[in-house]
Structure 1
């Protein structure tokens, strides 16, 4: 191999290539090249092939940050989720993407680790990029986050909770009502010493609202929950098992558990280890209706929420706002459905 073929001169750096260079090479106007990137479906097959070849030759791609300076927007939508480890959030992102990608929007995805401070910093960063919209999980945010979003005028959708006034738009349901209804259902089935095992409440308004609904149902039924009847744990089946084991050691009178699907399955596993019959000795409810909750022989009673539908609805709301349409409803309640199954029957 010759020295010349081994060390070829690199292509012109992308930063040095302009849209007009691609247009000149493809034999089209700069407006046509611009539409090739923004709305490729409007470009004819022949021009599209010529532009694609010129792009490949030059390595050119438009700078979204630079184009946003003139257009005051980008075709970017930011999504901030608490964690990427939970399938509920991936379903939301999937629904959102299915709507936005058809209109040539791209998603910027980040997780805040249930930290309001980290969420605030992420929002600052995304606003610099002049994103066309922001999707958040829940309605619990720092006051500065609210101020930043309102001042920027960036369309914002909050998901999975709708009990509080929205920053802009919210799509979700009442976690408090769902938890209240679950707990009341257990009471109606004869349970009197009900425990609550959930994810950590810090930075998580869904858990906080569910805990309020749990206590409200007990109060309305003339019951109370002792401190040892409430526990929190990180998302993991084994964590649910350990939390229940510790709770039962301190409070062997426990006869039911209100939880989420992941931790609730851990409770179900631990009951089997301890030779406790479900639901005779311990009734169990979950939340989220994950696939695994319905494939076991003793299926988990749970709350079904349309997480993907929330993502789709959020995408449609954001697109409507890009078209300068006013929001039809600032709060969209997609409701929930309790699926009473074998762990409570």
Structure 2
């Protein structure tokens, strides 16, 4: 197979207009689906676009128009289904309102988030959406000075820059502890991932342990694994935890990924759930509902968080906090 070493020239708006026999402004109106033009004119323009392989220059359109149509997302991870769910909820609203979503992955690194936010703001987006309320001071300064809408999702425990949509992670941790205590569990352990990088998991852990202490039932032991959450990390974490504290009667996991890993460990070792060990997760992932024993967990409104945040952005709503709450799912592992 051979390739032409010369780069093909970019097809211009003027060439599309010439091929369609109309003016450049008419082509622009058709492509933006804005303004007046006949169906016949639209068909001629779109035929010319297809024939020439024309790709609109959205950045140029943004600079020439009154406002940007880009909405930038800084998300911690793509391997965790939580954040693709948020993107899915937001994308439907944005596409319906002719906005374009772009995203970058921070890997839960605040410094990386700051660098990515700076890069995205250089494109002058209409809005920036981020996970959580904790950012570096540099990031917060850039967001406040950007002049665009800011939506922080999946956490309400703190002070937002502009729009905040989600739920209280601290309250989710408290609700989880109250549920286990109500079921009679007293020797409770914890398996989680990096709590300093994932500040929302840290807030849930704090709410959980504070509730236990208030009830006179301190956390017996905990296993915090370095790195991101995963089923493998949850399985290994529970193995290490039980090696130190074999008489635990319940374990709270930082999320469902970790809890499913713990569930697999119990299956492999013949540990009866929940009679020998109760397991409780967080997020309400689909996989937790289809295990032989549905996972006891907190179900979070991830898709709705993205959807509502996007609706507020396109409506240019005033700054506000929207609490979508969460649902405690009893399941069959507690």
Q: Is TM more than 0.5 here?
A: yes
| CA distance in 2 between partners of 1:10 and 1:48 (Å) | 33
Match for residue 295 of structure 1? 290
| Ranges in structure 1 where 5+ consecutive residues have no aligned partner | 1-5
Deviating more after overlay: 236-245 vs 36-45: 36-45
Question: Number of paired residues?
Answer: 331
Helix, strand or coil: the match of 2:328?
A: strand
Q: Contact (CA 8 Å) 1:140, 1:203: kept in 2 or not? A: no
Seen in structure 2, the aligned counterparts of structure 1 residues 160 and 247 have a Cα distance that, compared at 3 Å, is same
| CA distance in 1 between partners of 2:187 and 2:246 (Å) | 9
Match for residue 269 of structure 1? 264
| CA distance in 2 between partners of 1:315 and 1:11 (Å) | 38
| CA distance in 1 between partners of 2:157 and 2:173 (Å) | 13
Q: Contact (CA 8 Å) 2:238, 2:262: kept in 1 or not? A: yes
Runs of 4+ in 1 over 3 A off after TM superposition: 6-12, 40-44, 56-62
Match for residue 112 of structure 1? 106
Seen in structure 2, the aligned counterparts of structure 1 residues 263 and 8 have a Cα distance that, compared at 3 Å, is closer
| Ranges in structure 2 where 5+ consecutive residues have no aligned partner | none
Helix, strand or coil: the match of 1:229?
A: strand
Q: Residue 59 of structure 1: CA displacement?
A: 4.1
Structure 2-normalised TM-score?
0.92
1:340 to 308, 330, 334: 330
Q: Contact (CA 8 Å) 1:138, 1:158: kept in 2 or not? A: yes
Helix, strand or coil: the match of 1:303?
A: strand
Match for residue 3 of structure 1? none
Deviating more after overlay: 40-49 vs 110-119: 40-49
Deviating more after overlay: 271-280 vs 167-176: 271-280
| CA distance in 2 between partners of 1:246 and 1:7 (Å) | 56
| CA distance in 2 between partners of 1:187 and 1:41 (Å) | 62
Helix, strand or coil: the match of 1:99?
A: helix
Seen in structure 2, the aligned counterparts of structure 1 residues 12 and 342 have a Cα distance that, compared at 3 Å, is closer
Helix, strand or coil: the match of 1:318?
A: helix
| CA distance in 2 between partners of 1:309 and 1:177 (Å) | 19
Q: Contact (CA 8 Å) 1:39, 1:104: kept in 2 or not? A: no
Matches within 5 A, 1:186-197: 186-197=180-191
Q: Residue 27 of structure 1: CA displacement?
A: 2.6
Structure 1-normalised TM-score?
0.89
Helix, strand or coil: the match of 1:287?
A: coil
Q: Residue 268 of structure 1: CA displacement?
A: 1.4
2:309 to 307, 314, 331: 314
